[in-house]
Every structure is written in C-alpha cells, then in structure tokens.
C-alpha cells in the first residue's frame, strides 16, 4: 500500500481557500470509482483539508449533486 509522506497538500499548492460542496468537479478528484472518499494517505491532503473535503462530499451527497454509490 503506497503512502506519500513528502507530498504537499493539493489545496495548499493550488492556494484554494474555501472548499464548496457545489464544486463537484473538484470533489470528484477525491472520490474513488465507487464514490468512496479517498483516504488522506492516497489523496495527499492535510488533516484540515481532508475534514473539509469529507464534509463537502457528504453535503453534496445529501443535496443530490454526487451519488452515494455506483
């Protein structure tokens, strides 16, 4: 199982300040093909942004913007 210890957080490198649940194109990068949330060690995000990503994905699922399963 590969881990990426030296990878920089995607949101720090792209200078993204706010993660919006309506931005499904961005959220889709952090979902697997079966619409599961990608773990931190695969995605390479910091803890703060991983929590924001998971919260935004869950909100988007409730609003019907992203599917729950395939």
Bridge partner list, 37: 31
Say what the pTM is. 0.87
In Å, what is the CA distance from 23 to each residue of 18, 60, 70? Answer: 10, 9, 20
What superfamily does domain 17-63 belong to in CATH?
A: Ribosomal protein S18 (4.10.640.10)
Pick from 68, 50, 48: nearest CA to 59: 68
Distance, in Å, from the CA atom of 26 to the CA atom of 13, rounded to the nearest integer, reads 14
pLDDT digit string (tens) for 14-68? Answer: 999 999 999 999 999 999 999 999 999 888 899 999 999 999 999 999 999 999 9
Residue 6 or residue 46, greater confidence: 46
């Amino acid at each position: 199982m590969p881990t990426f210890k030296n990878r920089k957080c995607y949101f720090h490198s792209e200078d993204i300040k706010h993660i919006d649940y309506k931005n499904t194109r961005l959220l889709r990068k952090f979902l697997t093909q079966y619409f599961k949330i990608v773990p931190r060690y695969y995605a390479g995000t910091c803890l703060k942004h991983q929590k924001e990503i998971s919260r935004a994905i869950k909100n988007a699922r409730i609003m019907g913007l992203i599917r729950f399963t395939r």
